[in-house]
């Protein structure tokens, strides 16, 4: 099992992502030589969430007392080469981006016979999505501050050669429960290095038109950030439909009602 600490990856390089087929339980995914046990350093606590490949639990550093989150990925759920490549790329990208104040920090990576564990910063404030659900739209000053921080971290990702591909309120976390909490960009499961693409990724509410047209670069993240700004100010997505096909149709037409945003955008001249 491998351990890789954030900020000290010089002794451990991730193999290239030309991966094999679905791994058996005894195959190494990270290909590292260092061994150890997750539970030697951390105490695992309550379950915080779950995803396609595993669960997220609270974990506590036995030595410092720091409360963190542990994402445990079950190897037997990685059934295709793309699944394996995706996990390796997610870890590689998180290690590249860790250290920015608005990115969820990757603390360490452990590999066991049956699991890969990602130990990460825990954001006590939860998802921006849940805050929107509870409180509705933001005031203009609140939205301005949050959006500035979002664009700063998006630009940081792009400067590092990374496109997130799934920007949405569910993937923006709040560090604390304070009303002025900093944001943290999370979930790099669909992130990749910037290059032209052909396959649409992400959630339909936030997909940029150029993605539907078959291209994909950092401009698509900027579009998704703009959709988030619209939601912050209006409380609803700009392209709304009960079905995915309806949302994609409206997106293709680029039909958006700015009258739902009270008073603010009438002062802004649109730019190409």
Q: Is the pLDDT of residue 91 over 50?
A: yes
Which range, of 36-40, 56-60, 82-86, 140-144, averages the lowest pLDDT?
36-40
Q: Is the pLDDT of residue 248 over 60?
A: yes
Q: Residue 45: helix, strand or coil by DSSP?
A: strand
Sign of CA dihedral 15, 21, 27, 29: positive
How many other C-beta atoms lie within 10 A of the C-beta of residue 86? 21
Q: Give the distance, in angstroms, between the CA of residue 265 and the centroid of all CA atoms in the same chain.
A: 28
Please give the pLDDT value at position 176.
Answer: 94
- 257 tagged catalytic: no
Per the DSSP assignment, residues forming a β-bridge with 44 are 59
Mean pLDDT over residues 25-51, rounded?
79
Exactly one of 83, 105, 166, 187 is catalytic; name it.
166
Confidence of residue 252 (pLDDT cuts 50, 70, 90): low
Which strand (E) or helix (H) includes residue 107?
strand 106-111
Q: Is the pLDDT of residue 157 over 50?
A: yes
Check if CATH label 1.10.510.10 holds for domain 126-267: yes
Q: Is the pLDDT of residue 245 over 80?
A: no
Q: Is the pLDDT of residue 148 over 50?
A: yes
| Phi and psi, residue 153, nearest 5° | -75, -35
| Parts of the chain belonging to CATH 3.30.200.20 | 9-121
Q: What is the pTM of this model?
A: 0.75
| Parts of the chain belonging to CATH 1.10.510.10 | 126-267
Residue pLDDT, tens place only, 104-132: 999 999 999 899 999 999 999 999 999 99
Annotated ligand binding at 62? The verdict is: no
Mean pLDDT over residues 42-66, rounded?
94
How many other C-beta atoms lie within 10 A of the C-beta of residue 124? 12
Please give the pLDDT value at position 223.
Answer: 87
Average pLDDT in the chain: 79
Q: Topology of domain 9-121, per CATH?
A: Phosphorylase Kinase; domain 1 (3.30.200)
Which range, of 81-85, 146-150, 155-159, 202-206, averages the lowest pLDDT?
202-206
Confidence of residue 251 (pLDDT cuts 50, 70, 90): low
């Amino acid at each position: 099992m491998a351990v890789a600490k954030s900020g000290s990856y010089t002794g451990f390089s991730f193999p290239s992502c030309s991966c094999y087929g679905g791994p058996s339980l005894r195959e190494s995914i990270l290909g590292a030589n260092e061994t150890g046990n997750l539970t030697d350093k951390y105490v695992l606590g309550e379950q915080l969430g779950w995803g396609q490949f595993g669960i997220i639990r609270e974990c506590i550093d036995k030595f410092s007392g720091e409360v963190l989150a542990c994402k445990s990925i079950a190897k037997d759920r990685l059934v295709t080469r793309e699944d394996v490549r995706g996990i390796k790329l997610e870890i590689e990208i998180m290690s590249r981006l860790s250290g920015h104040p608005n990115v969820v920090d990757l603390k360490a990576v452990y590999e066991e016979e049956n699991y890969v564990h990602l130990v990460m910063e825990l954001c006590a404030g939860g998802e921006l999505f849940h805050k929107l659900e509870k409180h509705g739209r933001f005031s203009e000053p609140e939205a301005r501050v949050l959006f500035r921080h979002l664009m700063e971290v998006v630009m940081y990702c792009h400067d590092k050669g990374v496109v997130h591909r799934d920007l949405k309120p569910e993937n923006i976390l709040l560090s604390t429960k304070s009303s002025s909490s900093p944001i943290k960009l999370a979930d790099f499961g669909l992130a990749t290095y910037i290059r032209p693409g052909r396959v649409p990724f992400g959630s339909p509410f936030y997909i940029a038109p150029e993605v539907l047209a078959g291209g994909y670069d950092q401009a698509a993240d900027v579009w998704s950030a703009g959709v988030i700004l619209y939601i912050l100010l209006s409380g609803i997505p700009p392209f709304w439909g009960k079905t995915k096909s309806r949302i994609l149709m409206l997106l293709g037409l680029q039909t958006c009602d700015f009258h739902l945003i009270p008073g603010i955008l009438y002062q802004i001249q649109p730019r190409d």
